Amino acid sequence: MSAKKPVRLGVNVLASGRHDAAWKTLPNAADLSTDIDEFVRIAQLAERGRIDALFLAENPAGRFSDAYYRPWRALDPLALHAALSQATRHIGLVVTTTTLYGHPYITARQIASLEHISKGRAGWNITTSQDPETLQAYGLKEGFEQKQRYERATEFTQIVTSLWDSLPREAVVADARRNVFVDPARLRPINVQGQHFRSAGALLTPVGPQGRPVIFQAGESEESKAFGARWADALFTGQRTLQNAQKFYADVKALAQGYGRDPDRLLVVPGLFPILGGTEAEAQRRKDELDELLDHEALRIELARQLAIDPEDLPLDAPPPYDKIEAAKNNQPQSLRWHRTQILNEARQNNWTVRQVVRGNFRGGHRVIVGTPEQVAADILYWVDHGAADGFNFNIDILTSGLKDLVEQLIPELQKAGRFRREYEGTTLRDNLGLPRYQAAAA
C-alpha cells in the first residue's frame, strides 16, 4: 500500500442488480430473489475481488410495491448472510435492520449469532425508516416524529450494544472441577429502563471474535448524522455531488470528534453505481441499452408521487419544476427523502431534464458513473483524496456480469495504484477495515 489511505469497498447485493431493468436481460429472473446458489456465486465473486463487505439492505416488512416491478428483497438478510458465511471465508457480512420496531434483545442476539457463525465478519447496519407500508404491516396507525425516531434508535442501540458486552468470553469458564460453566460473577448484566425500550439481564450469546460486530448506519438528516457519529464505525450514505459529499464528510468527522472519538475510526462510504465499458462509448451504450428497457411513464408517475406534485407538471423532456417541488415539500413522504434531495441537487447542478432524472437511478438513490475502469478508479480516488469519502459501497448494474467486470477490471486499477488490497489483511471485518478489535470499558 502507498502512504495514501486505502480505499474501503463494499458491494450492495440486490437480486438481478441495481438497474431496475437488469432483470429484463436475464433468463431466470423470476427466481433470482430467492436463489441461494446465485447469491453464493455473487458472494464468492466479490470475495475474489477482495471486497471488504457485502451489504444486504432491508425494508422491514414493507415496500411490497417494489416487488411489482422488479426482483426484490425476498430473503431475510440475517438468514441469507448466515448461509453466505458458510460459502465464504473473508468477506464482511452486513445485515440491515431497523431500530424503530421490534425488540432490541432479538436484534442483539441475531447479530451476535452471525458474529460467531461467520467467525468475526458480522456487521449491523442501523436504519430508521418508517415507510407507510411498513407501518401498516406492523399494525401501527402512524409513524414517529423525527426527534422521537432518533430517541427510539438511541435507546434501541444502547440496549443492543450493552447486551453485546454482557457475556464476556472470560465468563465462560467451563470449570469442570468446580462444576461451573458460566461464572455469574463475570457477567455484565444490563438494566436499561428507557422511554421506548426496556431490557435487563445478559445476552445468551458470548462476545465474539471482533469484540463487537461492526456498526454501520444509514441516514441523511442532521439527527441521523449526530446519531451515526456517536454510534457507528462506518456511515453508509447517499452522496451524488462532490460538494455535498465533502460537507457530509466534514460534518460527521467533526461530530465524531465532538464525541471524543478518533475521526479516522468513523468511515464514510457513500453508495456508487458504476457502469463500466472498455471505452467510454461502450459504457454509455451499456447504460443506454438498459435505460431503454425502463418503464419511463411509470417512473415519471412514481417521481411525481414522491415529490407530491401533479404528474402533469412533470413532463419528461423539461427540467423538474423546482418551485412546485419546493412548495410541496411538506406533503412529500419522509421515506426516500434522501433519494429525492440527492438527485434533485445533482439534476439542478447539471441542468437535467426529468427524463435524465428517471434514468439516473432515482429509485436506488445513488450516484451513477459511466466510464472505463481507469476513469471510474480515478473518480473514486479523487473523492477519497479530496475529503469526500473513505471508500464506496458499490451498486452493481447487472448481477453477476457487472460484478465480474468490477472485480476483473476496476479492482485491478485500484490495486495498481496501491490503494486497494491484493490479499485480505486479517480474518475479521474489523481487521480488514483497519478498525481495532473492540474492547469493552472496564466495568
Burial 49-72, CB ≥16 within 10 A → b, else e: bbbbbbbbbbbbbbbeebeebbbb
C-alpha distances in Å from residue 408, one per residue of 43, 124, 219, 391, 398: 15, 28, 31, 18, 15
Whose cell is 463487537? That residue is 212
25 binds ligand FMN (CB under 6 A): no
Site string for ligand FMN, 70-109 (x = CB under 6 A): --------------------------x-------------
d(CA 12, CA 396): 7
Beta carbon nearer to ligand FMN, 114 or 218: 218
154 binds ligand FMN (CB under 6 A): no
Q: Hey, which residues between 274 and 333 contact ligand FMN (CB under 6 A)?
A: none
**Phi, psi angle pair for 9, to nearest 5°:** -135, 130
Pair type for strands 190-193 and 198-201: antiparallel
d(CA 138, CA 102): 9
The distance in angstroms from the start CA to the end CA of the chain is 38
Pair type for strands 391-395 and 267-276: parallel
Closest approach of ligand FMN to the CB of residue 196, in Å? 16
Closest approach of ligand FMN to the CB of residue 79, in Å? 16
395 binds ligand FMN (CB under 6 A): no
Closest approach of ligand FMN to the CB of residue 45, in Å? 22
337 binds ligand FMN (CB under 6 A): yes
Whose cell is 425508516? That residue is 129
d(CA 164, CA 348): 45
Q: Hey, which residues between 399 and 428 contact ligand FMN (CB under 6 A)?
A: none
For residues 374 and 279, is the Cβ–Cβ distance under 8 A? no
For residues 414 and 420, is the Cβ–Cβ distance under 8 A? yes
For residues 232 and 126, is the Cβ–Cβ distance under 8 A? yes
Beta carbon nearer to ligand FMN, 123 or 373: 123
Beta carbon nearer to ligand FMN, 127 or 210: 127
Beta carbon nearer to ligand FMN, 59 or 157: 59
Closest approach of ligand FMN to the CB of residue 393, in Å? 8
Closest approach of ligand FMN to the CB of residue 64, in Å? 13
**Applying CB under 6 A, which of residues 16, 107, 118, 127 lies at the interface with ligand FMN?**
127
Beta carbon nearer to ligand FMN, 190 or 347: 347
157 binds ligand FMN (CB under 6 A): no
Whose cell is 467451563? That residue is 174
Of the ranges 136-144, 215-223, 299-307, 427-435, which one interacts with ligand FMN (CB under 6 A)? 215-223
Contacts of 226 (CB under 8 A, 6+ apart): 150, 255
128 binds ligand FMN (CB under 6 A): yes
**Applying CB under 6 A, which of residues 224, 361, 372, 432 lies at the interface with ligand FMN?**
224
Q: Which residues contact ligand FMN (rule: CB under 6 A)?
A: 57-59, 96, 127-129, 218-221, 223-224, 236-238, 271, 337-338
